[in-house]
Structure 1
Amino acid sequence: MKAVPKVNTNGLYLEDALVDDTFSGVVPFYSNMEQGILDVLTTAENVTQPEGEAPNEPESNSYIIGIPVTPGLFRPSFDLAAWNAYESAVSAAEDSFQQALSKWQAFPEEQRGDMPVLESPTQPILWVEGLTPEEIEELTRPQPVEPNEMDRLGSEMVTRELEVLELRQQNEAQGAQIVGLELRLLSLENS
């Protein structure tokens, strides 16, 4: 079992879902599924319909994504439209390859030439940022930190130590003045 992302119908990450290790791709997750069971409905035949009504597709409320989330995204969002376009391009490339292969096989062996090669399209970037730059800036702005009791007491202690140091300096200055005055007084008495 492995954990894969589960997204809502807009592609925004919801949570992780546990799936088989071989799971890959993008699969709809339907609201009528039992909690914790991944039962993929692929055709309308799997859904019971009242008699006389046209069968309709069950409505998916999320998707299970077998493609890892790109690291560094604040709010990952899976681009479902890009995935659908990529899947269509892969299908078209496979169809084109099958046609080219059939034509190639129809020629006699001495006239065939090189065997056609399947050229799959490059997978686009499917995980994108779901937040606007303004929302990201708001999230990453440093928040003012209120000092805790230890910080407050430490700050007060530093303030008191600075006051004591200033009083010592004033005391030394006044002591030097007193000594100076006493020396003057002694010199006046001796004269």
Structure 2
Amino acid sequence: MKAVPKVNTDGLYIEDTLVDDAFSGVVPFYVEMEPQQPAAPDEAEQEPASEDEQPEETPEPILAGYIVGISVTPGLYRPRFDLEAWKAYKDAESAAKAAYKAEYDQWAALPEEERGEAPVYQAPLQPTLWIEGLTPEEIEEITRPQPQEPTEVDLLKERLAAAEARNEQLAEESTINQFALMELHMMILELKEGGSTA
């Protein structure tokens, strides 16, 4: 088993799916339509419709996308399988095979002494089938550096820095208050000493 991409009808990558190792190419997958249940209980009790009124065919399944046996090209932001390029490639491959078969049949029809070298099949080059599904503007938007939310550690560091700054401020205020208190104490002592000498 191997994982291969599934794409929607526009060729945009959906998810990977498991397939047999021998799988290759591009195959469609469908959404099955479920039969409609009667809407009201009264409808279920009615007699079945006559053969003329019964639908002759079950509803057609709806094309949901494709399973692609070609690996996604790495580095794409939103991989898109180019379905038109794939169809054109398969048409070119069929035309090349038909041309080779016609050339080989002509060669094989010649007498052996007139044949020369057998024709060689040359397959068309496979184009790049996985392309970018986003516009350059969309890529620029998603690759632009986004402001990151601060982590809990960052928030704790900020709080610690703020607390340290507040502690320094309080320490300075405390020192100023101590000097002011000492000056006030000195003034009181001077007044007491000045009052006792008088």
Q: Fold conserved (TM > 0.5)? A: yes
Alignment correspondent of 1:14:
14
What do the CA deviations read for 1:41-62 (whole angstroms, capped 9, x no partner)? xxxxxxxx937xxxx9854221
Indicate yes or no: 2:157 matched with 1:151: no
How far apart in 1 are the matches of 2:114 and 2:137?
A: 63
Q: Which runs of 5+ in 2 are unaligned?
A: 35-54, 176-198
Matches within 5 A, 1:22-101: 22-32=22-32, 50=56, 59-101=62-104
CA distance in 2, matches of 1:57, 1:86: 28
Which of 111, 133, 138 is 1:135 aligned to?
Answer: 138
Given the two structures, how large is their TM-score scaled by the length of structure 1?
Answer: 0.70
Alignment partner of 1:104 out of 87, 107, 121 = 107
Give 1:136 deviation, angstroms: 1.0
Separation in 2, partners of 1:57, 1:92:
32
Output the aligned Cα RMSD.
2.8
* Structure 1 residue 11: Cα displacement: 0.3
Letter in 2 for 1:28: P
Q: CA deviation at 1:162?
A: 6.8
Q: Which range is displaced more, 116-125 or 148-157?
A: 148-157
Q: Given that residues 103 and 119 in structure 2 are in contact (C-alpha distance below 8 angstroms), is that contact kept between their aligned partners in structure 1?
A: yes
Residue deviations 1:91-126, cap 9 Å, x none? 000000000000000101110011001011000000
Partner of 2:5: 5
Report the 3-state secondary structure (helix = DSSP H, G, I; strand = E; otherwise coil) of the residue aligned with 2:90: helix
- Segments of structure 1 that go 5 or more residues without pairing to the other structure are 35-48, 172-191
State the 1:159 CA deviation: 5.4
SS at match of 2:56: coil
Count of residues paired in the alignment: 150
Q: Distance in 2 between matches of 1:58 and 1:156?
A: 62
Contact 2:33 2:60 in 1 (8 A): no
Which residue in the other structure is 2:41 paired with? none
